[in-house]
Amino acid sequence: MADIYVFGDSIGYGAVDVKGGWADRLKQYLHKQKTDNPEGPFTEVYNLSVDGDTSSDVARRIKNELAVRRKPWSTPEDLVVIAIGDNDACAEGSPDGYKASTEEYQNNLNIIYEVVKSFDLEIAFVGLVAVDETKANPCVWGEYYIKNDRVELFDKVQLDFCKDNHASRIELFPITLLSEYQKNLFDGVHPNSNGHKILFEQIQPFITQLLQK
């Protein structure tokens, strides 16, 4: 038995997906695995993603979120999945009003990593996703600006961090630049149900492999 704790932003939360986003799809998939094989392991998924969160927000709340959900029977096999960074790369109010620097992002990743390790848990990272720049400068829902070159910059920070700390990670940025994903962006930023299906189909095998280690 293992628990999975997902920390992310609106995409992790599953905004505008009628099936709840890739994290809820992961939960449904794992629950079906159990109902199809009652003798097999049971994996619960707790989606702790919050719309609008940056790495600073996750770094601030992750310790308390994990502490209140740990159970007497919790094991080191439990997995924390970090899917954060796109809002860090975003600008607010003006095209150069960046929410965070790459240094701040890297520092927050380190805080998150150290907290997870203090609970003796496994950790894995989900890479950042691309946007449709024609609809994200500004975004249709406010004075927010997102450029893919800056998203890619933060994605590289996450990649280097994971290499330095030998942390598991799945790369999503290249596949989310492709037309199949881009045409399934509801507002240029958030994937619709088909877009979340694409993300789930990438993330599910990655998570399943980690659970089998």
DSSP letters spanning 124-154: EEE------TTTBTTBTTSSEE--HHHHHHH
Average pLDDT, the chain: 95
The span from the CA of 151 to the CA of 14, in Å, is: 19
Burial (0-12, 13-18, 19+ Cβ within 10 Å), 46? middle
Q: Which residue has the tokens 């920070």?
A: 157
Instruction: Please give the model's pTM, rounded to 2 decimal places.
Output: 0.96
pLDDT at 47 over 90: yes
Interacting residues of 211 by C-beta distance below 8 A, sequence separation 6+: 2, 41, 43, 77, 79
pLDDT at 193 over 70: yes
Q: How many residues does the chain have?
A: 213
The pLDDT of 154-183, averaged and rounded, is: 98
The pLDDT of 50-77, averaged and rounded, is: 91
Q: What is the dihedral of CA 52, 55, 58, 62, to 10 degrees?
A: 170
Percent of the chain with pLDDT over 70: 100
Q: What is the pLDDT of residue 2?
A: 85
Q: What is the pLDDT of residue 71?
A: 78
Residue 171, helix vs strand vs coil = coil
The pLDDT of 98-117, averaged and rounded, is: 98
The pLDDT of 185-206, averaged and rounded, is: 98
Q: Which CATH class is domain 2-211?
A: alpha beta
The pLDDT of 6-12, averaged and rounded, is: 98
- Read off the pLDDT band of 75 (50, 70, 90): confident
pLDDT tens-digit map of 11-46: 999 999 999 999 999 999 999 988 998 888 889 999
Q: What is the dihedral of CA 11, 158, 173, 55, to 10 degrees?
A: 20
Residue 167, helix vs strand vs coil = coil
pLDDT at 1 over 80: no
pLDDT tens-digit map of 128-163: 999 999 999 999 989 999 999 999 999 999 999 999
Q: What is the pLDDT of residue 155?
A: 98
Give the domain ranges of the chain: 2-211
